[in-house]
Structure 1
């Protein structure tokens, strides 16, 4: 593999990534960064001058280049960090309600009760500002959604991004911060006032065009499920995808169909190569590539230029150029060069799961697929097509499997069947969708084509739902640590290298990687999480979990089915890496590791004989005198969960602060853990 890789580009890419990671781990002053950069450049200049007199020291030169690009990666991250902008809203006092002027950048998938948008702030109280925030607008069936490029005024309080309120919960706030989003506004639709200002540009034009096409498609007799798939497949709009459909596609290993990304752009590339084949001769080959790249970017803009489409369009543009330059090595170089270019544009892409999965899948296809395809030589077109799809699917899945387990804790066992059946026809389905969109936009879409294409979408949905129903082949709740992730990748890389070409160094590397992975498994097995008790944050009900001797016990007043299906419990099980959970009813008194917890529910009973609690949990809004309670148990820490009325929590908190009694609200601070 190394013989087909341009080592300088690989060194530059890895060093640049290292610089981005260093910026995230440690913030140094500009002075020392510039000093390091100047010293390294001077060192490289001296090496270059000495090269005229004697052979260049390759290790020293590679080290110098690495330091330069580590520094450049650091500086690029510093430049891209929105918080460094003096006008960013985080440098303004927004503790009180303020008047905001903003423009809508992106329409997000709505929740049950709110429409959601990414907006860029323009002014706060008429003072110029910058920065992106999430806008949550309460749903109103009588009003339309906001449009990209339109400016609005509103008066509200700017809130921080949410923090996880329970253990092992997805940290949506950190996810937003990786996207340079550091705040959120929550308003009603009638609190918006449209501004005379409007944004312009390709992104706004693409949004208007997409809205027009969507309106045209929705005017025809497609069903809601058909429209949901068409919108996602052709135009990158997933607003119509409900939870059931999303879960089914994920369980079948076909979620990538509903997210316009590398797969769709790759199919567009193949279709364009077929269409432009008449001008594929040597003299016109670069004209053909220019046309293909232009059309790829046109598709990217029309679908919204999301990060996944941006990655895919950049990657396949470089791949097209690499193919024209010739050779697999050029293709590999093009992939690495596209990654460098994207990270120069936005270094924080490295932390996005889609970016990681996209490039790992392409690396797997370029490296593993040729080796897999060598095991069998097809003789006919059909078996050649199926064998190609099978090897590509296995190569891509093998390369992203550890990362998928790390992030999503699920492995769809029938992904192979789904891909082999669907992918051969996906080009036709996607091409048909583009044709439907064009004809609908021109208002010449015939009803016969509507019925035919709708039937094709129903067939695909039906097959996906059938595969997803085979729950025995779906492995859920798989949790692996970061150390296990690295060990598994090392094991896969060195084992495949050994299988491709047997020699002693590769045998030693593969053996060491297996020993490392085994050691990680043994260590984690013998070092389970510490025993602890957790008071969860859950609205309208109370839930307490105790973890002891690798067993989890949940105490709650909810039904068994409700508890087992609760996302908090599922996340907790995944995080603790356990399969079984015991469920018991709620108690009024707990003893845990020499600590005592008194639970006071809506009955307000706490006059228990010999009770001397270290913690008091208030649930279900008990009508109690908090002053008397604190006087009776002066050393107890008061905990109020989210099953209480907010007004009660506020009153209790004020009293505890005045009495200098420690108080914890799970509604404000999240779950309380006793270790």
Structure 2
């Protein structure tokens, strides 16, 4: 392996660690500037001494790495929007503010709400910056909003609700990685102003025009949504059934505009513009400018997601390298593109698409010398499908630990699905782009090719649905922690080194890595299965309590379908899928010597019980002040099955009685250990 011979790779790795450290420790900008100034001075001094020394010492290398670490921390802090003086959060007061802003992007909606990214421009007529999640009820506005739509909203931004139950997806944390910390609901609190015709507006208009050009074909919603995803990167309206089929078949990456799409476009455009090379004056330069302009235009139209930006930057480096007649090392190209992207937007590092995209490409490149030696047949067609299988396998190995961590499932038939879907999707991509152009130039030809395109999409979606129907070949709800993911990557990396060069040292290293992974797995399973805890979940419809004792989880609820609820499914998966037992709801629960009393709407209790914890549920009609005086509990909990007005009154009562109060609607679930 020659990867470590290239210093830019190590610099990029340390720079990345700096971004991670900066996001975790949140040091002040002043302190980070001092650190960077100091390390830069040390770097210059060590460089001056290195130039004078014949035998190099490690001082210069160490100073470069420290500077890379601290500059990563500084860039993370500079891009953290609440650190900026004009951020809207610094201009909010106790009074209801007037917030002016513009829609910049439509996000994926849910069943009841449309979601948009709202760029703040003014707060109370003072210039401001920042992004807010804007939600709109689907029945309140007759049509979707578009980039450029401007509003003045009289409302106080609210924090995005954090996850309320254990092991659930943390949407608030995800949005914070996108620099969105608050949300506003558009109801009767706004005035619509003039449309701002900015860059987002024109890109949105162009995207809408391209999408609407397919209306002449009268495609079914499923076909149209697939084409919107493949050609324009718009997956917001894709139905859950189709999306889940792609996920369960292991080909979800097809729906994300990524390196596969840009590879096809790059080589097609290079081929189409190749005659320009015959021009004596700057023919190759003109070809490069045209290719890169179209690639970047396509990237802007598709929304500049992390995987899109990574791909277009990579192919920009490849194109420039070909123009300069330099075959740059692929590892250097990957490292430089990653360094450039993270310098411009360090938040990309926390994007799952960015992580999976780089890992897939790195894995494909790393294992290329190994699988290129494998020749299945003397026929090119057979070898093409064989290469597709091997490349898919290499990519899957590279993203496996992270995929298990994020998605908790593994489809065994992913190789079969990729063999068919990858070449078919390439044909659909080329045909779709051709139809998209013909929609504006030659409608008759567009309609004819459009029928073929529709058939190809239906075949692909049908095949994927067929693959996804084999549930027994899909391992779902796989519990996989971050420590397991890291240890599995250690196994894969050391195994890859061993494949390239087999010797005693590397064999021992591989065996040790397997032992480490098994130890972490055994400890994680043992730790989860041997902890006892009682959890009061946040559930708005029914009271939901779990009592975990060793390898069994008892669900205490009035809901007969509580086992199938998303909260219990996520909790059980996080505890390595233990046996579930449904128990009827009782007024008294005993846990580790503590008495827990539940008061429902009837509020019946005996005064001599003296519970340690009091749980209020189902909008109990209890006189809480009197109950506290009679029962003397140490803690009062209100679950999600209560009216907000009651919760507010109970909180005030507990405050007066100086007793801790926990409302799951505000603070999430409560755990007793």
Common fold by TM > 0.5? yes
- The total of aligned residue pairs comes to 669
Shift of 1:363: 0.3
Residue 551 (str. 1) matches residue 552 (str. 2): yes
Residue 668 (str. 1) matches residue 666 (str. 2): yes
User: Cα 1:316–1:5, aligned 2, differ >3 Å: closer, same or farther?
Assistant: farther
Shift of 1:381: 1.9
Give the equivalent residue in structure 1 for 2:196: 198
Give the equivalent residue in structure 2 for 1:574: 573
Secondary structure in 2 matching 1:144:
coil
CA distance in 1, matches of 2:373, 2:326: 18
User: Cα 1:564–1:261, aligned 2, differ >3 Å: closer, same or farther?
Assistant: farther
CA distance in 1, matches of 2:578, 2:469: 21
Give the equivalent residue in structure 2 for 1:492: 492
Give the gaps of 5 or more residues in structure 1. Answer: none
8 A Cα contact 1:550 1:578, kept in partner: no
Q: How does 1:249-288 map to 2 (within 5 A)?
A: 249-278=246-275, 285-288=284-287
CA distance in 1, matches of 2:268, 2:388: 16
CA distance in 2, matches of 1:116, 1:160: 15
CA distance in 1, matches of 2:388, 2:406: 25
8 A Cα contact 1:151 1:199, kept in partner: no
CA distance in 2, matches of 1:495, 1:365: 15
Shift of 1:219: 4.9
Shift of 1:319: 3.1
Give the equivalent residue in structure 1 for 2:82: 83
8 A Cα contact 2:535 2:670, kept in partner: yes
8 A Cα contact 1:369 1:391, kept in partner: no
8 A Cα contact 2:103 2:149, kept in partner: yes
User: Cα 1:441–1:530, aligned 2, differ >3 Å: closer, same or farther?
Assistant: farther
8 A Cα contact 2:43 2:67, kept in partner: no
Give the equivalent residue in structure 2 for 1:650: 648
Give the equivalent residue in structure 2 for 1:230: 227
Secondary structure in 2 matching 1:611:
coil
8 A Cα contact 1:314 1:338, kept in partner: yes
User: Cα 1:274–1:554, aligned 2, differ >3 Å: closer, same or farther?
Assistant: farther
User: Cα 1:318–1:579, aligned 2, differ >3 Å: closer, same or farther?
Assistant: farther
Q: How does 1:515-534 map to 2 (within 5 A)?
A: 515-528=515-528, 530-534=531-535
Q: How does 1:290-309 map to 2 (within 5 A)?
A: 290-309=289-308
CA distance in 1, matches of 2:255, 2:41: 51
Calculate the aligned-residue CA RMSD, in Å.
Answer: 2.4
CA distance in 2, matches of 1:73, 1:520: 30
Give the equivalent residue in structure 1 for 2:599: 600
Shift of 1:289: 3.5
User: Cα 1:275–1:380, aligned 2, differ >3 Å: closer, same or farther?
Assistant: farther
Secondary structure in 2 matching 1:198:
coil
Shift of 1:329: 5.3
8 A Cα contact 2:165 2:538, kept in partner: yes
User: Cα 1:90–1:265, aligned 2, differ >3 Å: closer, same or farther?
Assistant: same
Give the equivalent residue in structure 1 for 2:620: 622
Q: How does 1:46-445 map to 2 (within 5 A)?
A: 46-57=45-56, 59-140=58-139, 143-188=142-187, 190-196=188-194, 198-201=196-199, 203-278=200-275, 285-322=284-321, 330-376=329-375, 378-442=377-441, 444=443
Give the gaps of 5 or more residues in structure 2. Answer: none
Secondary structure in 1 matching 2:122:
strand
| 1:281-325 C-alpha deviation (Å, 9 max, x unpaired) | 898555443332222111111112233322221122223334556
Secondary structure in 1 matching 2:391:
helix
8 A Cα contact 2:4 2:10, kept in partner: no
User: Cα 1:41–1:87, aligned 2, differ >3 Å: closer, same or farther?
Assistant: closer
Residue 25 (str. 1) matches residue 5 (str. 2): no
Shift of 1:611: 2.5
Shift of 1:79: 1.7
CA distance in 1, matches of 2:127, 2:379: 66
